[in-house]
Chains A and B, each alone.
Chain A
Amino acid sequence: MLDLISNEGVTVGDQGLAESPLAVRGLTVSYGQKPAVFSVDMTVQPGAMTAIIGPNGAGKSTLLKAALGIVSPLSGQVTVFGQPLEKQRARIAYVPQRASVDWDFPTRVIDVVLMGLSRELGLLGRVRARHKACAMDCLNRVGMRDFADRQIGQLSGGQQQRVFLARALAQGADLYLLDEPFAGVDAATEKAIIAVLKSLKEAGKTVVVVHHDLATVTDYFDHVFLINTRKVAEGPVAESFTAETLQSAYGGRLATAQIDQLSRAQG
């Protein structure tokens, strides 16, 4: 296990760090006495789509939250585009888990998307026509334009997820971090989200997704980052998403048969 932790990070020199949209070094996060993430190094490749994969409770979401400073780590460093997180925050868009908010909150779909523009709006700036147009455009990209005036409580789970994505799009960021965007959503939503993410990649943006569906990894992503409290593997899907790495990430929890099936699917 220990040798797995270090051997990937070593190959990346200082130059790699400077170019990486998100680089994490020696990150440890703990709730109470048990580390949720332990001494993890991660170097996200620019302009690619990376999946963070691991079993339940492996620290996937925690890694993302610590990288964003939402939870404070015990130790470790985070650099964003080669600089400290605080200096580059404006270039990051985060899509939290859908279940993290109260959907009975008195607000409309368009208002949620406008939250993505809070930096431009400032404290007292008025919401102008161009802000509304930008928000509508983002809703259009996720296929939710017709829902702009609905109360958010009236949306289905998949639609809520797409509104969250539209809010992130409104920020116009360069790095997109999504926490389980495909969890419990309908097929139409999954298609819509993946289309948007691919278009972001084509525009040169970097996308990192906490993902749980092993069957779609090969179709959707270029890179994987396997974690089970410690880093298990990191690299291009073809090299790092293998029966061996999956076995060591999931241990006995993933039936061998399932791994076989997956590796056959990869040919």
Chain B
Amino acid sequence: MLWDALTLQLGYNATLVALGATLLGVSAGVTGTFLFLRKRALVSDAISHATLPGVCLAFMALVALGGDGRNLLGLLAGSAISAWAGLLCMNWLTRHTRLAEDAAIGAVLSVFFGFGIVLLTVIQTMGVGRQAGLEGFLLGSTAGMLWADAMIIAIGGAVTLLLVMIIRRPMTLVAFDPEYAAARGLPVHRIDLAMMGLVMAVTVVGLKIVGLILIVALLIIPAVTARFWSERSEHVVLLAGVAGGLAGYIGAAISASAPNLPTGPIIVLVSFAFFVVSLFFAPKRGVLAAVLRHLRFQRRVHIRQGLLALAQGQKIYEPLTLRLLRRAGLARADGVATDTGKARAAKALRDERRWEIVRADLAHEATAALYDGLRDIETVLTRDQIAEIDRRIGGPQGILL
């Protein structure tokens, strides 16, 4: 069943939803990364909650004008207008009052959402309101998705992606160093607004599939996930797009494969699964890697300290050091160095002297920065360079690498 869903063989509606969710995931992941890099992730939560009054007012307006209140384009236009109003309120509060951004986010989010809920209740007491299904915008509802709905999502997502690609450089520069960006004459404030406008576009486009409460997850989780895997912002952006797209696709497929599985929340859970895997297993920044790195580091510190103690004929009291030396065949149980241990100890002491020279010499600065008291010097310098340093140290030659 799941396989059928993943290969898009579960019928028309499921296919539309899967493709829409994938596109939405890609554009939310990419756009959200810039918000994340600018450290304004929570702004998206305020923006998304601010869409609700717009949806309701648009519905009322459409009905009052005698049209079909469920016209998706009309509802989305309404949501965009009220989200923009929320965004401007938040911006004004942060820039012109003493409120910090978190307080402004809280204020805008709760007030707009509260107003939206009031309108929603009013609509449900109206004759036409009961079948409107506006609650679907809270958590998304994909059951009756139409071809036209899917097209709106596809076009909206694609246009947003394109715009993000066009202003990605100014957005990155502003995220990294806003003062420098301002000194270069970049309109920092307007770039921030553009970034949040794009986030708003993604939010509006995603209302149908994941709904306004959960869209924040699609904007932020892929970016945070991607950050575990790369140290370059361009790659983080691309990876976030991939993670978001995959989450959208797999999530939609899972929810189509069984009855009564809501699409939006499942997508968010899949996205979260990617995050958890990255959190633990990412090669450099992951938790597991950090633990292993710490253990390896501890082992190296103990062995190095032990070797230097052996070289200087000091007694080793630390049991862990002794155990590690013994296990590496460098010392006997009574703490006396083996032959290998003696050789390694002599080299450790020699390396310390070599490092002293390297660190005192400006020409070796990049190398000297690598000094941590542990690194074997031959891993950072060539044989010739080491020979040259040994000549400067003088004394007995021939302590081999």
* Interface residue? B292 (CB, 8 A): no
Question: B227 contacts A96, CB within 8 Å?
Answer: no
Question: B167 contacts A123, CB within 8 Å?
Answer: yes
Question: A159 contacts B185, CB within 8 Å?
Answer: no
* Shortest distance between the CB of B173 and any CB in chain A (Å): 6
* Interface residue? B177 (CB, 8 A): yes
Q: Which residue of A lies closest to B363 (CB)?
A: A143
* Interface residue? B3 (CB, 8 A): no
Q: Which 6 A/B pairs are nearest by Cβ-Cβ distance?
A: A146-B366, A94-B183, A89-B185, A151-B231, A70-B182, A68-B183
* Interface residue? A16 (CB, 8 A): no
- Annotate B148-191 by CB proximity to A: 1 below 8 A, 0 otherwise: 00000000000000000011011001011101101111000000
Question: B170 contacts A107, CB within 8 Å?
Answer: no
Q: Which residue of B lies closest to A107 (CB)?
A: B233
* Shortest distance between the CB of A13 and any CB in chain B (Å): 29
* Shortest distance between the CB of B38 and any CB in chain A (Å): 10
Chain A residues whose CB sits within 8 angstroms of the CB of B104 once the complex forms = none
Question: A107 contacts B177, CB within 8 Å?
Answer: no
* Shortest distance between the CB of B98 and any CB in chain A (Å): 9
Question: A101 contacts B176, CB within 8 Å?
Answer: yes
Question: B236 contacts A119, CB within 8 Å?
Answer: no
* Shortest distance between the CB of B89 and any CB in chain A (Å): 22
Question: B176 contacts A105, CB within 8 Å?
Answer: yes
Q: Which residue of B lies closest to A94 (CB)?
A: B183
Question: A118 contacts B232, CB within 8 Å?
Answer: no
* Shortest distance between the CB of B77 and any CB in chain A (Å): 28
* Shortest distance between the CB of B82 and any CB in chain A (Å): 31
CA distance A106 to B169 in the complex (A): 14
Given the known interface contacts A96-B177, A96-B180, A106-B236, the answer about A86 and B185 at a Cβ–Cβ threshold of 8 Å is yes
Question: A96 contacts B176, CB within 8 Å?
Answer: no
* Interface residue? B230 (CB, 8 A): yes
Number of A positions contacting B (CB below 8 A) = 33
Question: A147 contacts B182, CB within 8 Å?
Answer: no
* Shortest distance between the CB of A234 and any CB in chain B (Å): 23
* Interface residue? A18 (CB, 8 A): no
Question: B177 contacts A106, CB within 8 Å?
Answer: no
Given the known interface contacts A146-B366, A147-B366, the answer about A68 and B182 at a Cβ–Cβ threshold of 8 Å is yes
List chain A positions with a Cβ less than 8 A from chain B. 65, 68-70, 86, 89, 92, 94, 96, 100-102, 105-108, 111-112, 115, 118-119, 121, 123-124, 143, 146-147, 151, 156, 159, 167, 177, 188
Chain B residues whose CB sits within 8 angstroms of the CB of A167 once the complex forms = 180
Number of B positions contacting A (CB below 8 A) = 27
* Interface residue? B362 (CB, 8 A): yes
Chain B residues whose CB sits within 8 angstroms of the CB of A107 once the complex forms = 176, 231-233
CA distance A233 to B170 in the complex (A): 39
Question: B173 contacts A118, CB within 8 Å?
Answer: yes
Chain A residues whose CB sits within 8 angstroms of the CB of B378 once the complex forms = none
Q: Which residue of B lies closest to A177 (CB)?
A: B183
* Interface residue? B365 (CB, 8 A): yes
Question: A70 contacts B179, CB within 8 Å?
Answer: yes
* Shortest distance between the CB of A165 and any CB in chain B (Å): 12
Question: B37 contacts A105, CB within 8 Å?
Answer: yes
Question: A143 contacts B166, CB within 8 Å?
Answer: no
Chain A residues whose CB sits within 8 angstroms of the CB of B235 once the complex forms = 106
Most buried by B among A102, A108, A112, A115: A115
Question: B365 contacts A106, CB within 8 Å?
Answer: no
* Shortest distance between the CB of B150 and any CB in chain A (Å): 29
- Annotate B202-243 by CB proximity to A: 1 below 8 A, 0 otherwise: 000000000000000000000000010011110110000000
* Interface residue? B400 (CB, 8 A): no
* Shortest distance between the CB of A170 and any CB in chain B (Å): 12
Contact among A94, A108, A156 with B180 in the assembled complex (CB-CB below 8 Å): A94
* Shortest distance between the CB of B28 and any CB in chain A (Å): 19
Question: A115 contacts B231, CB within 8 Å?
Answer: no
Given the known interface contacts A118-B173, A143-B365, A159-B369, the answer about A108 and B166 at a Cβ–Cβ threshold of 8 Å is no
* Shortest distance between the CB of A167 and any CB in chain B (Å): 8
Question: A100 contacts B177, CB within 8 Å?
Answer: yes
CA distance A124 to B168 in the complex (A): 9
Most buried by A among B39, B166, B235, B366: B366
CA distance A193 to B366 in the complex (A): 16
User: Beyond A86-B185, A94-B184, A96-B183: 14 further Cβ-contacts under 8 Å?
Assistant: A69-B182, A69-B183, A70-B182, A102-B39, A107-B176, A107-B231, A108-B232, A115-B177, A121-B169, A124-B166, A143-B362, A146-B366, A147-B366, A188-B362
